[in-house]
Amino acid sequence: MNGIQLLWFKRDLRVHDHTALVEASRRGIVLPLYIIEPDYWAQPDVSGRHWAFARECLDGLRKELAALGQPLIVQVGEAVTVLNRLLQQQPIEAVWSHEETGNDWTYRRDQAVGEWLRSQGVPWHEVPRHGVVRRLKTRNQWSRIWEQRMRAPLEPPPVLRPLAVLVDHEMVDALPEARELGLVDDPCPGRQCGGRSAGVALLEGFLGARGESYHLEMSSPLTAFESCSRLSPHLAWGTLSMREVVQATRYRRQQIADLGRKGERGTWAKALAAFEGRLHWHCHFMQKLESEPRIEFENLHRACDGLRDPQPDADRLVAWSQGLTGFPFVDACMRALRETGWINFRMRAMLMSFSSYHLWLHWREPGLHLARVFTDYEPGIHWPQVQMQSGTTGINTLRIYNPVKQSQDQDPHGEFIRRWVPELAGVPDARIHTPWMLSSTEQDTYGCRIGHDYPDRLLDHEAAARAARRRFGAIRRTPESRAEREAIFLAHGSRRRGAGRAAGPRRARMTGGTMGPDEPTA
């Protein structure tokens, strides 16, 4: 083949280790395309901070492609309409892209594109993006496939031959601002920067210095912002490939092993082993949504249907999403997340657990809020994690985080709380975790009136946790529930890496994934 090969970029905004780009370049002249789809940006799980990050990634991709010999074509519109227009202008022989495990909208979009391309007689080659396996029949061999893919050689950037005639004036010169896509104002002053150069710098900094205490410091938000890799948005938007991150990590592990023979490796060995495990779990969780897309909308464990009202208590949802629950550590984590677009995995799990068990909110609306504020929102990880932390998978242990104990364990001196909940700045360490217990005199002394300067707690967290356990206990003991759990485990349960089978749902561990890639966690 020597015709034009259209390379459709989605969430793979790089030229390094890009198999679809390399394969397309071997078959003809490549037309690189990115489609800004207004209908996608109108979905309830996306936000202005997502576009701001993606926009920076696209700026970098444009420069990289131009250096290789072919500019990136950016067009705005519905995918089939854009592709049809290009097909009328250029003799396109085939379309290339990666396999996307996105939200329901992208799933249906791809179905429509595939049907239209078939009607036009144009082949569409979708290449695996990382460790997710399309049309996977059994989980038993999934880890082996993941390992094969991660060991494959990295693809170098190809040399591209330029098109003799570019497309018409529909090409976008300046990438639109969020408001031009109808996105609401979404200030996120602490948001990470997009683009491959930022991702590479993070990877090098983590493997070279920041990551040495990763396994020890990833749980507390006091240390996690620095000690975690922070690669999650770059993996979500594809400025880095999973394969190159895994291989860079293994190369560093070998370096550390060599140093170990001289007694100089410090804590690096355990840190990097923990990090690589999280990279594996990243794809493990994405596989769940790939195999069962309904997880985005429906309880995985049908026995949980009707357990919570799909219409959440509006006042509780607002208090939780704004960081005004009256539980200082919960509120500090939510406020930090809203301002930075990131929080570490344990705190993500706590936020979701608190909304589901203590506030008894159905997971869908809180899940949408978190999707919008996570800069690293990855649907394939997010929705299985949301359900896992809400108890609706049927195969995972109920993890009901005690918000006071988490506060005392992860922020014993209230440093994180005082930074993000300044209303409590004057409250001493011993009282800052439970401000509702302050006497009137103490409130005056410390300059914080509960119910006025800072809200009273929404509920008794211990009583709410007991009620949640009773409700779940009642449905989990039924024969129907147990039978369904067996089926869910066969489809989605974790297997020991390198093993063909696992013992069954009773041995399924409570594992994380990310609500970001290094989770649980990086």
- Reported confidence tier of residue 166, pLDDT bands at 50, 70, 90: low
Residue pLDDT, tens place only, 325-357: 999 999 999 999 999 999 999 999 999 999 999
Tokens matching residue 138:
């059994």
Looking at beta carbons, which pairs linking 159-163 to residues 24 or more positions away fall under 8 Å?
A: 159/25, 159/68, 159/69, 160/25, 160/29, 160/30, 160/32, 160/65, 160/68, 160/69, 160/70, 161/29, 161/30, 161/69, 161/70, 162/29, 162/69, 162/70, 163/4, 163/29, 163/31, 163/70, 163/90
Residue pLDDT, tens place only, 188-201: 999 999 999 999 99
∠ CA(439), CA(442), CA(445), 5° rounding? 155
Q: Are 21 and 35 in contact (CB under 8 A)?
A: no
Mean pLDDT of all residues in the chain?
A: 91
Q: What mean pLDDT is predicted for residues 2-8?
A: 89
Residue pLDDT, tens place only, 465-480: 999 999 998 888 787 7
In a 3-state reduction of DSSP, which class is residue 126?
Answer: strand
Residue pLDDT, tens place only, 213-229: 999 999 999 999 999 99
CA distance 399 to 350: 9
Q: What pLDDT is attached to residue 438?
A: 98
Q: What pLDDT is attached to residue 207?
A: 98
Q: What mean pLDDT is predicted for residues 26-40?
A: 96
Q: Which amino acid is at 59?
A: D
Q: Tell me which of 216 and 165 has the higher pLDDT.
A: 216
pTM of the model: 0.92
- Reported confidence tier of residue 516, pLDDT bands at 50, 70, 90: very low
Q: Are 314 and 408 in contact (CB under 8 A)?
A: no
Token pair 């890799």 is found at 229
- Reported confidence tier of residue 492, pLDDT bands at 50, 70, 90: confident
In a 3-state reduction of DSSP, which class is residue 498?
Answer: coil
Tell me how far the alpha carbon of residue 30 is from its chain's centroid. 30
pLDDT at 519 over 80: no
Return the minimum-mean-pLDDT range out of 95-104, 143-152, 507-516. Answer: 507-516
What is the phi/psi pair of residue 318, to 5°? -65, -45
Residue pLDDT, tens place only, 232-254: 999 999 999 999 999 999 999 99
Q: What pLDDT is attached to residue 264?
A: 64
Q: What pLDDT is attached to residue 214?
A: 97
Q: What pLDDT is attached to residue 491?
A: 76
Q: Are 275 and 229 in contact (CB under 8 A)?
A: yes
Q: What pLDDT is attached to residue 254?
A: 95
∠ CA(86), CA(87), CA(93), 5° rounding? 120
Q: What mean pLDDT is predicted for residues 120-130?
A: 96
- Reported confidence tier of residue 521, pLDDT bands at 50, 70, 90: very low
Could you count the other beta carbons within 10 Å of the beta carbon of residue 137? 8
Q: What pLDDT is attached to residue 430?
A: 95
DSSP 421-469: -GGGTTS-HHHHT-GGG--HHHHHHHT--BTTTBPPPSS-HHHHHHHHH
CA distance 354 to 164: 58
Residue pLDDT, tens place only, 47-101: 999 999 999 999 999 999 999 988 899 999 999 999 999 999 889 999 999 999 9
Q: What pLDDT is attached to residue 397?
A: 84
Residue pLDDT, tens place only, 281-311: 999 999 999 999 999 999 999 999 999 999 9
Which residues, including other chains, have CB under 8 Å from residue 137's CB and lie 6 or more apart?
Answer: none
pLDDT at 503 over 50: no
Q: What mean pLDDT is predicted for residues 114-141?
A: 95
Q: What mean pLDDT is predicted for residues 197-212?
A: 97
Q: Are 408 and 433 in contact (CB under 8 A)?
A: yes
pLDDT at 172 over 90: no
Q: What pLDDT is attached to residue 504?
A: 37
CA distance 246 to 148: 12
